[in-house]
Amino acid sequence: MKRFAVVWAGQLVSVIGSALTAFVLGVWVYLGTGSVTQFVLIQFCAVVPGILLAPYAGALADRYDRKKIMLFADSGAGVVTVLLLVAVSADALAVWQIYLASALTATLNLFHFIAYQALVPALVPQKHLGRVNGLMQLTQGVQIAAPLVAGALLGLVGLRGVLIIDVVSMAFAVTALLMARLPVVAGGGAEGGETGIGAGLRWLRGAPGLFVLCAVFGVWNFLFAIAGGLVQPLILSFSSPATLGVLMAAGGSGLFVGGLVMGAWGGPRRRVHGIYLGLALGGVFLVLHSLAPSPWLIGLAAPAFLFTLPLMNTCCVTLLQTKVDPAVLGRVLAVVRMLSTAAMPVAFLLIGPLSDGVAEPLMAADGALASSLGTLIGVGEGRGIALIFLVVGVLMLALTAYAWSRPRLRAVDDLPDAVAETPERTLQ
């Protein structure tokens, strides 16, 4: 646990620096271009590599020393930030450079993430996996809350100063990794001649409960992407940008507290029950987002919804880490990530047409649903977005019912645990 604490602290500091940079670069693009499309392209560039390159990240995590992969990824991300810093210092920063940097950083973070999750079971005792995975969820809360700090730093030290902070945070993470004596596990590598998606899919097909879990998370991520992409426009439809910042920080606090709770608790004994609970509560809290144009309502519903993320993610990752053969764990984690996030870019592309072209006209004062659903959630600007939240919340409750109806998923905790020890383990 001490070794994990050293690595986790370094990674948390690095994530803070990266989140600050991501926010200020987005602000720089939007203020410089005035284009929402160019702003959204940054998110697109950050998502697509994780889908396309996940199988390769998993294959490398199973074939090579995972600590070295993490060191390479952190160092590479630091180099990318240094290059951005040079461009800013020379007053030569361009939008295309930010797109390229976002894609490169996302790629490196993907390889780091898969290697990190695959290394954890060899780093801590199995009984502590739930708590450790809960602590790892704290990074999401930090990322959401970063805009408040980043906005203040942007005024104090500017874009160049924020990039310097990010470089220092990367150096801290690399130093922590170098100091930690981590296990080197000799797994199966390219077992059976299969690398990447082939071995991961073959293993998941042999564990149907986990395959169903992957499908459920794919639908959940699609619904989450729609809600996540529309929550800021929803808030801005009835509040000021200052209120938006406060509510985003409140949402981040839900993630942060959820990570703390899971770090102390570790989750239920039957992990799938935590997933069912997170799905059901998530659906309820998304529906609450739609009921009134009230900052107070969002201030309660958003943190409550985001509190469910650490619960679900901790239970899911812990199931995979305890049930999957360590020799193919990296590839299975990569395939799960790829399949469960594949629909997210589709959600991002649907958000605009769905909101502006369909939902908002339906909920206008003279819209087709004004006299029916309008009496429940209101009419006018932003109420079309509220309608989407209502529908997404109901669909999430339906997904909960479907997941509960799958006998293999209900019994996924009963799958045999993977062998805890691998053929060879040393420390470095």
Tens digit of pLDDT for each residue in 297-333? 999 999 999 999 999 999 999 999 999 988 888 989 9
Tens of pLDDT, residues 66-112:
899 999 999 999 999 999 999 999 999 999 999 999 999 999 999 99
The reported pTM is 0.82
If residue 184 lies in a helix (H) or strand (E), which one and from where to where? strand 183-185
Asked whether residue 20 carries a pLDDT value surpassing 80, the answer given is yes
Q: What is the mean pLDDT of the chain?
A: 87
Residue with the larger pLDDT of the pair 310 and 349:
310
Structure tokens at 382: 């932003």
pLDDT in tens, 217-231: 999 999 998 998 888
- Would you say 45 and 80 are in contact if contact means Cβ atoms under 8 Å apart? no
Mean pLDDT value across residues 43-61: 85
Measured CA to CA, the distance from residue 154 to residue 41 in angstroms comes to 22
Q: What is the pLDDT of residue 104?
A: 95
Instruction: Specify the pLDDT at position 35.
Output: 64
Q: pLDDT at position 80, please?
A: 96
Residue 147, pLDDT > 60, answer yes
Which burial class, exposed, middle or buried, applies to 426 when counting CB atoms under 10 A from its CB (0-12, 13-18, 19+)? exposed
Q: Give me the phi and psi of 426, to 5 degrees please.
A: -130, 175
Q: Is residue 145 very low, low, confident or very high in pLDDT (cuts 50, 70, 90)?
A: low
CATH 1.20.120.1200 fits 2-188+195-427, yes or no: no
Return the higher-pLDDT residue of 352 and 210. 210
On the question of pLDDT at 34 being above 80, the answer is no
